[in-house]
Amino acid sequence: MAKNKWRYATAASLLTLTLALAACNNESTDKKDSTETEQTEKTDVKDVRTLTDALGNEVAVPVHPKRVIATYLEDYLVALGIKPVAQWSVGEGASIQDYLQDSLEEVPTIGFDLPYEAVQSFKPDLILMDSASMVEGNKYSQYSAIAPTYVVGKENDNDWREELLTVGEVFDKKDDAQAILDDYDAKVKTAKADIDAAVGDASVAAIWLVGGSFYLVSDELSSGAVLYEDLGFKAPAVVKEIAASGTASWNAVSLEKLVELDADYIFLINSDNAGSPSTVSDALWNTIPAVKEGNVFAFSPESSWLYTGPIANSQIIDDVVKSVGK
C-alpha cells in the first residue's frame, strides 16, 4: 500500500484492490511438501537458494531468476534493476503504474488478482506476492505449482522499507536495497532542510478526487507516511480523524468534512481532470483555508502519489520540494 499503494475509473477500484490485500491462512504441511518437491523437480538444487517467506513457507528461489512476476512490487524491482515479465494492472490494463513506465513501457500487463491462466501464460520461474491475502485459501499451492512462490509480507500495508530489504534478499541484492534506503534517507534530510527554511512547521494534506468523491490519505500510509513521518509536516485533525476510522491508505471524506480541514497546504491528486474539484460545490471548496490562500498543488493520477516504494516516495519528495520549497 501505498503498491494502497492511480487512474481508476472509480474509487471502488481502489477499495477492491485494498480489500484484496489482507491476512490469510497458511497452507498445510502436506501441500507445502508437495509444492517443494515440484519446485525441486523444475530447478536443479544447485541453482536455488532456500528462503523462508513471511508465511513460513520454505521456497526454492532460483539463484538467477529470469522470468519474474511480482505484481504491485514493481517499484522495488525497478529500483533494484530487475524487469518483470508482466506488470500490475486494473481493468484489463486500463490502470497501470504510470510513473514506472520509463522502465516498464514494453512489459505486458496482468490483472492485479493474478488469474492462474494468465500467470501460467507468462511461464514465470519466480512469483512474488505482496501480501498474505493474495494466496489465501488454497491459492498458494496453486501458484507454487506454476513456479516457486514467495510471500513478501503478512499485512495489507507492509512497511515499504522492510519490503525493499526483503525483495533485495530474495534476489541476493540486500546490499543494493540498503544502499537505496541510505540514499533515500539522505534525500529526506536535504528535503526537510529546504522545506523548513521555506515554510517552517506547516500542516499539509493530500486529497484524491476520483469519480466525484474525495479521499484523504492516511497519516501513516502511502504518501501520508512520506509527508508526516519522513518530511515532518503536521497532520491536520481531520486527517487523523478520517485515518483513525478508515481501513485503507486513502479513505473517503465528505466535502462537508473537508471544509474543516485546517491545512496550510493541500496536494490534490485529481483523477477527474476538472478545472476545480467540484463545480457543484465550489462555494464549500473555496472555504478551505489552503484553497483561499492559493496553496493547492495539483497532480495527475499518472504521478506516484497514490503508490509507495523507493521510486514513488522519492518522486513525491521531489514534488513537495518543488511546490513549497525555496
Output the tens digit of pLDDT for each of the chain's 326 residues: 444 433 333 343 443 433 333 333 333 334 444 444 444 444 455 699 999 999 999 999 999 999 999 999 999 999 999 999 999 999 988 899 999 999 999 999 999 999 999 999 999 999 999 999 999 999 999 999 999 999 999 987 889 999 999 999 999 999 999 999 999 999 999 999 999 999 999 999 999 999 889 999 999 999 999 999 999 999 999 999 999 999 899 999 998 899 999 999 999 999 987 555 654 467 788 889 999 999 999 999 999 999 999 999 999 999 999 999 86
263 CB neighbour count, 10 Å cutoff = 26
CATH number of 13-174: 3.40.50.1980
Cell numbers describing residue 3 = 503498491
What residues form DSSP beta bridges with 234? 203
| Residue 188 to residue 250: CA distance in whole angstroms | 23
Looking from the CA of 130 toward its CB, the CA atoms found within 13 Å total: 29
User: How buried is 21 (Cβ within 10 angstroms: 0-12 exposed, 13-18 middle, 19+ buried)?
Assistant: buried
Cα first-last separation, the chain: 30
Domains in the chain: boundaries: 13-174, 191-324
The Cα–Cα gap between 292 and 321 comes to 21
pLDDT at residue 178, as a whole number: 98
Q: Which residues contact 248 (CB under 8 A, 6 or more apart)?
A: 4, 14, 15, 18, 218, 221
* CB neighbourhood size of 320 (10 A): 25
What is the architecture, at CATH level 2, of domain 191-324? 3-Layer(aba) Sandwich (3.40)
CA distance 110 to 118: 7
Separation CA 60–CA 48 (nearest Å): 6
The reply to whether domains 13-174 and 191-324 share a CATH topology is yes
